Amino acid sequence: MNHGYTYQAALASSEAINWRIEDIIGGTKRLDFSKPFMPETFARVDKLPFLNDEEKRILNQIRGNIYLCIFGLVEEFILPFVLDHARPQLQGDDYRVRALLKFACEEAKHIQLFKQFRREFEEGFGTDCAVIGPPEAIAQAILAHDPLGVALTTLHIEWMVQRHYVDSIKDDQELDPQFKSLLRHHWLEEVQHAKLDTLMVESLAQGRTEEEIMKGVEEYIEIGGFIDGGLKQQVEFDLDSFERATGRKLTDAEKDEFRSVQLQANRWTYLGTGMTHEKVLATLESLTPKARQRIESISPVFS
Ligand SMILES: [Fe+2]
Ligand SMILES: [Fe+2]
């Protein structure tokens, strides 16, 4: 595939960025709970007309908190996956080894950042918000799949981060600047990860027949189904967090509307934006046009 990504260039970009957790969170860098955290395209709180402005902002902040928690979760499977991918070829291309280890190191840093964020969020927000997990169980379930399926899931996640930041977060002036800064710093490093994922997918697909490639694609879809099940559970947690944080009891009809709007909002955030990303589709197509067609046949469900 003619993308021009190399381990050497990814490593050089990554070394030029290199932020530290303590530079972007803690001390005077506080969340502003008078502002929304998530762009409306992902939060979709305006689609719940029975909520007042304050309730919408609270739900938006719950979704923002969970957004970073879910990244913390998925990065717990990306970290061992990247290490396992690097390990068998430690004697090979030095740039490859260093770029993959830097990638793993950055994900370990992101996991720590998101944990610290969650503590700060809960302190300021005042209500505990449950999140799906535990991370080890989710990582174990995902890593039990075909490595090509896992690599495609990782590719999906990291291009999705790009799209979220560039298309919806960067120019949204309503969002809390501190929350936005965390997303920006995360995005800066994910740019390199998405390129390295592309190289990982290519190396894992090498030498496979079309049938074997499609097996990997089916496992990517299975992992997507597993994540979708997690999102259904997360919407129930968010509903409960919302009621506890606001003291408002929704009627049964309002709860049903909450569930349907928020499930679709979550599906678009975590599944649709990755499955319809042009770079993900281009990589799938480079493996076999059938792979792209298969994903395009199911992605409308997640819009
Ligand atoms: Fe990350
Ligand atoms: Fe990443």
What is the structure's pLDDT at 277? 97
| Partner residues linked to 29 by β-bridges | 26
Neighbours of ion ligand 2 (CB under 5 A): 158, 190, 193
What is the structure's pLDDT at 57? 98
Residue pointed to by tokens 């129930």? 236
- With beta carbons less than 8 A apart as the criterion, state whether 99 and 10 touch: yes
Please state, in angstroms and rounded to a whole number, the distance separating the CA atoms of residues 10 and 194: 10
Length of the chain: 303
- With beta carbons less than 8 A apart as the criterion, state whether 68 and 114 touch: yes
Neighbours of ion ligand 1 (CB under 5 A): 75, 110
What is the structure's pLDDT at 253? 98
What is the structure's pLDDT at 250? 98
Find the helix packing angle between 147-163 and 278-287, rounded to 10°.
Answer: 150
- With beta carbons less than 8 A apart as the criterion, state whether 115 and 72 touch: yes
- With beta carbons less than 8 A apart as the criterion, state whether 120 and 47 touch: no
Ligand in closest contact with the CA of 155: 2
The sign one gets for the Cα dihedral 231, 235, 240, 245 is: positive
pLDDT tens for the chain, 303 residues long, are 689 999 999 999 999 998 999 999 999 999 999 999 999 999 999 999 999 999 999 999 999 999 999 999 999 999 999 999 999 999 999 999 999 999 999 999 999 999 999 999 999 999 999 999 999 999 999 999 999 999 999 999 999 999 999 999 999 999 999 999 999 999 999 999 999 999 999 999 999 999 999 999 999 999 999 999 999 999 999 999 999 999 999 999 999 999 999 999 999 999 999 999 999 999 999 999 999 999 999 999 998
Please state, in angstroms and rounded to a whole number, the distance separating the CA atoms of residues 245 and 42: 20
Please state, in angstroms and rounded to a whole number, the distance separating the CA atoms of residues 152 and 187: 19
What is the structure's pLDDT at 124? 96
What is the structure's pLDDT at 100? 98
For residue 169, the CA-to-ligand 2 centroid distance in Å is: 18
